[in-house]
Structure 1
Amino acid sequence: MTTVELTRFRVRPEQVDALLAARPAMLADFRADRAGFLDADLVRLPDGEWLDVVRWRSAEDFAASRVKGANRPGIAAFFAAIDSVVSAEEGTLAGGDR
């Protein structure tokens, strides 16, 4: 069953361009290096907050990705643009997989 990672974070206004510029390389690094990565959506919220919705083939794939951390340049650049993490949750996609 598809696992969904929900990470809400803050980005300083002066880092928004860096975050958006790093996103394509981060996704490419995930596709190349993270077994079970399916896709991701980045949502801009009010007040400098963002929500990253990442889908994984399984909870095990997500756990293995977390162990790797920012091990590739694109991932590291994206993470570096984040000021602070507000919340991080994991769930299972309900109502059919995408």
Structure 2
Amino acid sequence: MTLEYVRFETSDADALVAGRDGLLHRLKERYGDEFVSAQLVRFDDGSIGDLIQWRSRETAERAAKEMPSDEAVADFFGQITTVHDMRHAEVLHSA
């Protein structure tokens, strides 16, 4: 399992959240069972975090390259103004 962590800014959190269901639908459609789960969070400093769990690192890396230019989810990605950090990590334990 792989966890994808992205921390970014948005100028309109409501619009970002409104486009979230479309993004999740597209991830399931494109990557099937390789997409496990996703959480969208707001940090105390106002930045947004996206935590996505994948079955494999290869799929996580492929999705990170493909999704930002996918027209089906342009509404979601169009709300992101600045990306501060993006990382992939191997999940060692989960409960």
Calculate the TM-score normalised by the size of structure 1.
0.85
Aligned to 2:45: 47
Separation of aligned partners in 2, 1:21 and 1:58: 28
Unaligned stretches of 5+ residues in structure 1 = none
Q: For this pair of structures, how many residues does the alignment match?
A: 93
2:31 is the counterpart of 1:31: no
Partner-residue secondary structure (3-state), 2:14: helix
Structure 1 stretches of 4+ with a deviation exceeding 6 A read none
Letter in 2 for 1:92: E
Q: CA RMSD in A?
A: 1.5
- Given residue 30 of structure 2, which amino acid in structure 1 is its aligned partner? D
Matching residue of 1:10: 9
Please tell me the residue identity of whatever aligns with 2:29. Answer: A
The alignment's TM-score, normalised by the length of structure 2, stands at: 0.87
Residue-by-residue CA offset, 1:29-64 (whole Å, 9 max, x unaligned): 111012411110111112320111000100111122
Query: What are structure 2's unaligned runs of at least 5 residues?
Result: none
Alignment-mate amino acid for residue 85 of structure 1:
V
